[in-house]
Amino acid sequence: MITFTDVENNEYQAQCEIEKTDAVNGEKSLSGTIYFGQDVKSNIAKGWTLSFLGEDYVVVTYTKNDKENTVAFSAVQAFFYKMSKTGFYETWNGSHPFATYLDALFAGTGYTYDNTATVAAFEKQDWGMSDRLSLFNDIIDQASVEFSVEGTVIHVVPAMGSDLSTIVRKKFNLDTAEIQTDNTSFATYGRGYGAYSNPDDTTSSRLEVEYKSPLYDYYYPKFGAIEAVPVADERYTIADNLLAAVQEKVDKSWAISLTLNLVDLQSVGYKYAMANPGDYITVIDESLNFSDKVRIIKVTSDYDIRGTRTKTEVECGSLSFAEQQKTSQSTLSNVAAGKIPVPNEWLTSQVQLATNSLLAARTELKFTDQGIIAIDKSDSNKVVILNSAGVGVSTDGGQTFKSAITADGVVADRLFGNLISGITYETTDEASGYKIRLKGGSMELLKGSKLVSGINQFNIGTDFNNLDGNALRLAQTDGNGTSVGVITIPRTSRQSNPLVQITGKVDSSLNFTGTRYITAENTLWVTAADMVSLGSFNPSNGKTTEYFRVTSSETDVWGNFNVYNGSKNAVQVTRDGLRATPAYELAENYVGDIGEGKTGEDKTVRVDIDPLVFDLINTDKPYQVFLTAYSDAHFWVSERGKDYFIVSSDTPNSSFGWELKGKRRGFEDQRLVDTKDTYNDLEKMEGLIPNGNQNVQSNS
């Protein structure tokens, strides 16, 4: 159970699925879905917080889904929220010690810091007049340090994490791995400009260096020098330091990131600590030909509604292009030279892309102990390998084979032909785990190995089955791929309590032949756990107006309530059964009140109109008072005031009863209002006038 707290510090409990993110430099955030906890789902609002794994988070967004009866939310750790909402209303210039900046930012915030990093004083220009979190991140970046949040203490350190001896290896405690590359900033050449020879003269000569990466000569014939943005910083006075900065910028210009899904061995009793952001671990994945030490920059963990961690995804920091070259190109060279066998993963891994470029190829053949390797002379990325294990086609220099035929089967992204026939066809989305299987005249939809739904053929027809605990949605999709649900079987539907949600318009003539429990012909029950509402949608303002509401205790109507060819009755229990008591009908819209009174010694009495009744009637219009004598006297209304009337009698101390009728406020001028319905309209309403208009009578 997760504890939520509202603005008044009232606590509520809810069950949620949570995704928790921890990253280098303290980032901590949650995203989740609330499934159980009606108080939270109904009342969650701005200023709510929650506690998760001993830390406080502030809810920043929430989305209520009335179809699924869930609430999706996102939250950030309290430090980041509070600091981002606290301003620093000063402007600083010049050089200050690192601790001076920290003291100013944390003053009065309720947070303290612990700094173990050695940072020289540095200069800032127009620093301030912003939120404290932005300014804190600015000086952290300036000082090239990192931080973590622990309660109300911020730990500032030279670098987070530890150099662990942990080894993460495929088929041991590594589930899946993915390498992503980004060459949008790729460069092979860079320049750096440091201090001026005369610091007071910007036209004087500057310290200048240039750097060419090991790949410079390889790409130069086609692209020339691929230049990085220059490093221009007057603080560099030593050429070697400036050159190191330029080299780092160029070598890391092609970003490589590694994403891993780790199996948490703690759950089975293995003494293994999950790595934290900032830690260095060794990753070995033979299928990707990757073996190197990498740094964890973000850890994302999923928790189910019981609080059990179900998945941990680790994102490692960017590797330099030189490191990528080292780990990706050596294997193909060794295979081509016959030094190592072809990895089995090349022939059995499923791949994302497929190419077919056999025609017009100029090919170099190499005969090795592992088979025949064909390499395109004009493009060495195009490789075909043939041996007793099968045939593989690669377009990335042999790192992966995007089409392959082995004893295990055929791997390809696209198959072209007029007919594919067989017993079973199966396709799987690796990211989500969803699978479609065509088998024996039926279609099965699975999540992993678990059956979710399916279409089955029977002698009597076709069944579309949805298993308990899963949602099934019939949606309408536009040309851009955006879908809107029309008919949904929600996850909460069960065979014992089947549910369906219809969010689209029903355009049909419906004929109801009874329900599961009511067998009478043409009987329809509309039920809900708490309330049934009817209304209309106004497309001009996008709002829905409620007109009719039924709950367990009452029925409410907004607007006029018209009864055709019938009466408005209150049904009450009598000694002779239930009897209907019709409502009193008037030609105009009146509100009434009844009471008793007694005149005094002066033979008069003032009767004040009930303030609530006064709010309902307009006494600026004439109202009527009817008197009934309860004594041997004569009575009359001697005065009608705005909020009172005076009754007089011909003898003192005389009792009477009174009835007041006044025109309803807002409806003063209505009299026998025309409904605009015609006789033809009534004839279309089956059964209203079966023998003609019996309500019309003659004065003759």
Q: What span, in angstroms and rounded, lies between the C-alpha atoms of 20 and 26?
A: 13
pLDDT tens digits for 521-571?
666 777 777 888 888 878 777 788 888 888 888 888 888 888 877 788 888
3-state secondary structure of 465: strand
Q: What span, in angstroms and rounded, lies between the C-alpha atoms of 78 and 90?
A: 24
> What confidence score (pLDDT) does residue 174 get?
59
Number of helices (H), then strands (E), in the chain? 11, 45
Q: What span, in angstroms and rounded, lies between the C-alpha atoms of 168 and 294?
A: 11
Whose CA is closest to 526, among 508, 547, 512?
512
Convert 29-68 to b/e letters by CB count within 10 Å (16 or more is b): bbebbbbebeebbeebeeebbbebeebbbbbbebeeeeeb
Tokens of 308: 């059990």
Q: What is the pTM of this model?
A: 0.39
Tokens of 607: 């009767």
pLDDT tens digits for 57-95?
999 999 988 888 899 999 999 998 899 899 999 999 888
Tokens of 354: 């497929």
What sign results for the dihedral spanned by CA atoms 265, 267, 270, 275?
A: positive
Taking residues 191-195, report their average pLDDT: 92
Question: Which DSSP state fits 286?
Answer: G
Q: What span, in angstroms and rounded, lies between the C-alpha atoms of 62 and 46?
A: 9
Task: Cite the DSSP H helix spans in 144-238.
Answer: 216-223
Q: What span, in angstroms and rounded, lies between the C-alpha atoms of 616 and 441?
A: 70
Distance of CA 651 to the CA centre of its chain: 79
pLDDT tens digits for 178-187?
666 666 778 8
- Phi, psi at 591, each rounded to 5°: -120, 135
Could you tell me the strand order of the sheet in which 555-557 lies?
531-538, 543-551, 555-557
Query: What are 290's strand-pairing partners?
Result: 285
Q: At what angle do helices 98-106 and 132-143 cross, to 10 degrees?
A: 160
Residues 27 and 80 sit within 8 Å (Cβ to Cβ): yes
Whose CA is closest to 301, among 322, 282, 320, 277?
277
Per-residue pLDDT band for 270 (boundaries 50, 70, 90) equals: very low
> What confidence score (pLDDT) does residue 32 get?
92
> What confidence score (pLDDT) does residue 98 get?
92
Tokens of 530: 């708490």
> What confidence score (pLDDT) does residue 565 get?
73
Query: What are 636's strand-pairing partners?
Result: 648
pLDDT tens digits for 18-42?
999 887 766 688 999 999 999 999 9
> What confidence score (pLDDT) does residue 244 get?
85
Residues 562 and 675 sit within 8 Å (Cβ to Cβ): yes
Residues 343 and 390 sit within 8 Å (Cβ to Cβ): no
pLDDT tens digits for 666-695?
999 989 888 887 777 766 655 555 554 555
Q: List CB contacts of 293: < 8 A, sequence separation 6 or more.
A: 163, 280, 281, 282, 283
Query: Do the bridges between strand 11-23 and strand 55-65 make them parallel or antiparallel, or are there none, so unpaired?
Result: unpaired
3-state secondary structure of 192: strand
Taking only Cα atoms into account, the Rg of the chain, rounded to an integer number of angstroms, comes to 40
Query: What are 629's strand-pairing partners?
Result: 656
Q: Is the pLDDT of residue 511 over 70?
A: no
Taking residues 608-632, report their average pLDDT: 95
pLDDT tens digits for 573-619?
888 888 988 888 889 999 999 999 999 999 999 999 999 999 999 99
> Where is pLDDT greater, at 158 or 461?
158
Residue 75: exposure state from Cβ atoms within 10 A (0-12, 13-18, ≥19): buried
3-state secondary structure of 346: helix
> What confidence score (pLDDT) does residue 209 get?
95
pLDDT tens digits for 271-323?
444 567 777 767 666 666 666 667 777 888 888 888 888 887 777 765 443 34
Q: What span, in angstroms and rounded, lies between the C-alpha atoms of 227 and 211?
A: 10
Calculate the average pLDDT of the chain.
Answer: 79
Q: What is the largest CA-CA distance in the chain?
A: 134
